[in-house]
Amino acid sequence: MGVGLQIAGLMLTMKAANMQKAAYEAEAQAQEEQAEMAKIQASQQEVERNRKLRLQLASLGTSMSSQGVALGTSPSVLALADDEKKIAKNDIAAIRLMGLSNRRRYEVGAAGSRAAGRAAQLGGFAKTAAGAYSIGQGVGSA
Q: What pLDDT digit, counting tens, does each position of 9-38 carry?
A: 888 888 999 999 999 999 999 999 999 999
pLDDT attached to residue 142: 47
Give the single-character DSSP code of 141: -
Statement: residue 3 has pLDDT above 80:
no
Which stretches of 67-141 are DSSP H helices? 75-137
Distance (Å, whole) CA 20 – CA 100:
30
More confident residue, 6 or 97: 97
pLDDT attached to residue 37: 96
More confident residue, 60 or 2: 60
pLDDT attached to residue 139: 63
Residue 21, classed as helix, strand or coil, is helix
Distance (Å, whole) CA 116 – CA 111:
9
pTM score above 0.95: no
Statement: residue 73 has pLDDT above 80:
no
